[in-house]
Structure formats: structure tokens, C-alpha cells
Chains A and B, each alone.
Chain A
Amino acid sequence: MIWLTWRQMRAQTLWTLGLVAAAAAYLIYLAGDLRDTYRLTITDCTTACDDAKHAFADAFGPGLLLIGLVLIAGPALIGAFWAAPLITRELETGTHRLVWNQSVTRTRWLAVKLTVVGGVSVALTGGLSLLLSWAAEPFDGLVNSRFEPLTFASRDLAPFGYALLAFTLGLVVGVLARRTLVAMAVTLLAFAAFQLLMANAVRPHFAEPVTETIEWSDANTVGQIDSFGIGPQGAGIQGYTIPGAWVVSDHITVYKGDGTEVTEDDITSCGSTPDECMTALDASFEVTYQPADRYWEFQWIELGVAAGLSAVLAGVAFWRIPRGLN
């Protein structure tokens, strides 16, 4: 059974291996380049170090992002192009009636396909993820935004889970839809929906976020105010970043020392720079965020959610297949 599975997947596996090897070679080259540059411009930095950091981030950001996107798209493509046709192509050509009448039960047939092809998918994706995580280490340490959706989804453990889920999803959709093109389309859409839902609706709730009141005077030592506006609606912070943490609040209202909102009049009547005015008003604001040290906890939960869904989907396939598709 393993022989047949390999024989059927040989061509696709080889060219996918080629693509992954190319990506790996590029990553290894990038890792060396990145470390050399880091040592020269950041570690040995003497003057204008902030500019050097920005230049470093600008130089290596796009390359790492590109590989990250490949890693995010990879599982979806594996689900659509490997897993979905795995069973539908047999059904479409009628060869399931050949292979299901050899002395191998359908459960074993499915188990081997799932383990061998699914295993290769997870190993390739996961391997690339670990390689990227290692290559990007100095960069990620410097930029320190590991909860950023595209970074979180393309580092460490998360891609293992995505590969497993996309694969079982493609397989099950194939079993239920029975037609290759339909199964491929549904797999791509369903997996994209999963990614978007996880990043936007589910992942923020993995743990109860921390809410902290930050004095205006400490605002740029605890984190950094990306932009700040004063208008008729009052004063608000649009985007606040805390190194390594995931800030959940997007629009942050600023309050005065007496607990009322800072108004436009407070700032115009103050006569000084807005920053000095805020400090004079004893202003503060509340930030809700997931602390940086929850990164690994979140990675494990992300992996667990994907693995759990995969187990349910695999259960559906194992329930359906022996009951006959003809």
C-alpha cells in the first residue's frame, strides 16, 4: 500500500521537493546574509543606530515576508492539489473499484494515504517553518512583533497545524464532493476562511487579554504611540504598540487625571505642545493586550486547534469511506 501511494504521488512529490529545496536554499543564503549584516550594522553600531535598525528591517523584511507568504499559501495549495484529488481522482477514473478490491481494507488504504501523503505535507511545511524561524531570528528579535498575523502564521509550530488541517480538509472535501475541481475550490475557500477567522476572531481570545492603564508620561517607554489625533470627538490614540505584545485595542481614548475624556478645548487652551499638555493634564489611557510571553502558549493553542479540527475531519473520512462510494 505504501508502495502504491508513493508510486501514485511520485511526480508531484518530486517537484514539490524541488520547490521546497529552492526555498530552503534561499533561506540558508538569507540567514547568512542577515547575520553578517546584523553584526556589521546593529551589533557594532556606533552612530545613528535607530536609522541602522530601520535600514536593516527594510532590507530583510520583504524577503522574509515572501517566504512567510509561501509558507502560509503552501498548506492551502497542498490541500487543494494533493489532498483533494487523492480520492476524487480515483472516483473519477473508477480506479477505486480496482484498488478497493485488492486484499487491503478501505480503512487501511485511507490510513496509509493519510499518513504517508499527509505526513510528507506536514514534514515539508513544518521543516520550512522551522528553517524560516531560525533564519529570521535576529530580524524577529529586532522588529519584535511576533504576534503580527503574517509572522505568527509562518513561524514555529503554527504551520505544522495548518499543513495537517489543510491536508485532512482537502481529503474530506474530496470524499464528500467526489469531484476534483469542486473539491479543490472548496478546500481553498474553506482553508482561507479558517486562516482569516483564526487571525481575526479566534486567536485574540485564546487567553483573557491584560488591560493596563498607562500614564501619558510613560507612554513611549512602555510602548510606542503610532499616531495620535485630537478632534471634536476628543483625543484618541490610533495604534499603540508594545514590544513583542499583541495590542488588541485599536482606538484608545485618553482620559484626564480627574477621569473625564480629554477634549479638543483642553489642548487648544493649554498653549503648549500636545505632548506637554497631556502630561500637564495628568492624562492616561487604557490598553488591552496579549503580553509577549504568551507567544509560545498561543503557538501551541493554534497547533492544538488545527490538530483537533484535523482529527474531526479525519474521523468523517474514516466513517464515510467504508460505507461505500460508488
Chain B
Amino acid sequence: MSTPVLSTTALTKRYGRHTALAETTLDIPAGRIVGLVGPNGAGKSTLLALAAGLIRPTSGHIEVLGRTPAADAAQLARVGFVAQDTPVYAGLSVADHLRLGEHLNPAWDRRFAQARIAQIGLDPAKKAGRLSGGQKAQLALTLAAAKRPELLIFDEPVAALDPLARRAFLQNLMAFVAELDISVILSSHLIGDVERVCDHLVVLAESRVQVAGEIDDLTANHHRIVGPRGSLDALPDGIHVIAADHTPRQSTLIVHDTTGRTTLDGAEPIGLEDMVLTYLHRAEGLTAPTLQETRA
């Protein structure tokens, strides 16, 4: 499991003049549930489509599980992909979809697929076009998982679902990730969902990666520091200021301790959501409003 599931170098994708993804360099270790968060249009879908091999990069390099995405049938078999809005064939029944999966995937796990369909209560004879959004997502998830990939990629799997279906879908996902022992990359603009299911985070905004790492490390190494104005001008090496807010009397900083072990006076922990928002605001060139909030 030493090969990273996703490794990119200066990965760039342009559509005409519009840059969807710029100079992205990432290394995601295997065995993680990776959350890819960012606002709409940040480049999440582009990055995932590149990883699935649906599109090719304009420049730069990408490897998934050590190989070029979608290079051949063997590589395709190693990666499961569920696209945004979880497309299924409206005219085909649930059973037809399972047959499709069986015909098109040599490692197809029929027992797993049938058990899952039964577990989520889908009628095999029902046309996929008549399923609810949640059921469609479950069917697409089943198809992607039953081909027994090493990596599962989800592009906004829960975006179209109501809160109940969303919760059910994520619980289900967690359950079989544990069961199948695979790596997962999922994108979402809901930080709460990511916090609940993921252990690795990539924050994408304005076509660029803002920060990436293990969620535990990230929360441990990001701090809010409040001190008298001027007292925070000189910080030790390895402490990066993500956002700064100054009043005449005091300064508030949000910092990233890249050394992972510096002790800072007056540092207090910052939640994952605050941390992500700070990065997103910085990417947009705005002052982070979280700084004005007083913590309860």
C-alpha cells in the first residue's frame, strides 16, 4: 500500500481561456477516506474527472494508483467512479444495471451487489428512471463498489439528496468502506459531511489546492492567536499566517504550524469548518469574517 492513490504534479486543465484547475501538486496516501472540499466551480469535478480519466490534462501529470488514469481495462477495473448527479440508464431496470456491471467488470462481486440492493430495499424490476434521487445514488454506488475497485471516487454524491437520504448514504458508504478495505476520494461543499466521514482533507478554491493533509494533523496544527497589536509581528520559522485581522489594540491571526510542534503563546484550537473557511476566504482575497467572531 505504498503507492499513493492519487499523485499529481503541476496538473492543469484549461477549457479554452478558462482555467478549471491550475498547477495542482498533490500526493494522497492509500487507505484514506479523502474529502475534497471547496466552493462550486473550484475545480473539484475537474480534478476528479481527471483522476477517473474522463478528461485529459492540458499540462502536468497525474497518476492514480501509480498509473495513468483509464489507461486500459485493467486500470479501469481498479477505480470506481460515481459522477455528480449519479447517472443511471433511465430505461434499464435495477436488475439490468447489475447485469451491466457483471458483463463489463471481470472482478464483479455479484453477491455483494445483490446483498446491497436487498439491504437498501431497491426493487430489481423497477426502472432506474423511476427511482428517487437517493435510490439512484445508492444504485450508482453499488455499481461502482461491486466491481471491487481499489479506489472509489465520488463527485458530490450527496449534493442532490435531502438531509435524511444524505445521512443514510454516508452511513452506508462508511459501512462498506470498512467492509471492503478501499481508498475513497469524495468531493463535497458540505464541510460537516466531510468532517463526519473523512480522515484526509484537500481544500480546493479558485482552481488551486489551498491546503491538504490528514484532518487530525490539520486541526492540531492550525491555531487562532490573539495578542496585543505588534506583539505578533515576528513569528517563529515554519509558522504561516493564513489570515490576520488588526484592531488598534490587538491582532488576531490564524496560523498554520507547518513544523507541527511549535508552542505558541495565546494559541487556541480552531475547528475544521473555521479553518476551511479561512482558506476559502483567503483564496478569494477577502478578510476572513471568522476572525471577528468571539468564540463561545
Judge: A and B partners, yes or no.
yes
Interface residues of A (CB under 8 A from B): 1, 3-4, 7-8, 93-95, 97-106, 108, 323-324, 326
Q: How far is the CB of A289 from chain B (nearest CB, A)?
A: 54
Determine how close the nearest CB of chain A comes to the CB of B200; give it in whole angstroms.
22
Is there an interface contact between A94 and B85, defined as CB atoms closer than 8 Å? Answer: yes
Known contacts being A108-B73, A324-B55, is A102 close to B104, with CB within 8 Å? yes
Given that A1-B104, A4-B100, A324-B54 are known contacts, is A101 also in contact with B80, CB under 8 Å in the complex? yes
- A8 proximity list for chain B (CB < 8 A): 89, 91-92
Cα(A93)–Cα(B72), bound, Å? 24
9 new A-B contacts, CB < 8 A, other than A105-B72, A105-B76, are A3-B100, A4-B104, A95-B89, A98-B83, A98-B140, A101-B83, A102-B76, A102-B104, A103-B74
Chain B residues near A105 (CB-CB < 8 A):
70, 72-73, 76
Nearest CB of chain B from residue A22's CB, rounded to whole Å:
25
- 7 A-B pairs whose Cβ atoms sit less than 8 Å apart in the complex: A7-B96, A8-B89, A95-B87, A95-B89, A98-B88, A103-B105, A324-B55
The interface size bin for chain B is 35 or more
CB neighbours (8 Å) of B140 from chain A are 98
Query: Could you tell me the distance between the alpha carbons of A42 and B90 in the complex, rounded to whole angstroms?
Result: 59
User: CA separation between A303 and B197, bound complex, in Å?
Assistant: 61
List residues of chain B with CB under 8 Å of any chain A CB.
Answer: 49, 52-56, 70, 72-74, 76-77, 79-81, 83, 85, 87-92, 96, 99-101, 103-107, 140, 143-144, 147
Residues A326 and B103 in contact, CB atoms below 8 Å apart: no
B103 and A93 contacting across the interface, CB-CB below 8 Å: no
Which A-chain residue is minimally distant from B106 (CB atoms)? A103
B73 and A103 form a contact (CB under 8 A):
yes
Which of B76, B88, B91 touches A101 (beta carbons < 8 Å)? B76
Q: How far is the CA of A103 from the CA of B52 in the complex (A)?
A: 12
Pair A1/B105 contact, Cβ less than 8 Å: no
In the assembled complex, the Cα of A101 lies from the Cα of B90 at a distance in Å of 18
Assembled-state Cα–Cα distance A7/B88 (Å): 14
From residue A202, how far is it (CB to closest CB) to chain B in Å? 38
Question: What residues on A are CB-neighbors of B96 within 8 Å?
Answer: 7
Q: Is the CB of B104 within 8 A of A104?
A: yes
Residues on A with C-beta less than 8 A from B55 are 324, 326
The list of the 8 closest CB pairs from A to B, nearest first, reads A102-B104, A94-B87, A97-B83, A103-B77, A324-B55, A101-B81, A103-B105, A326-B55
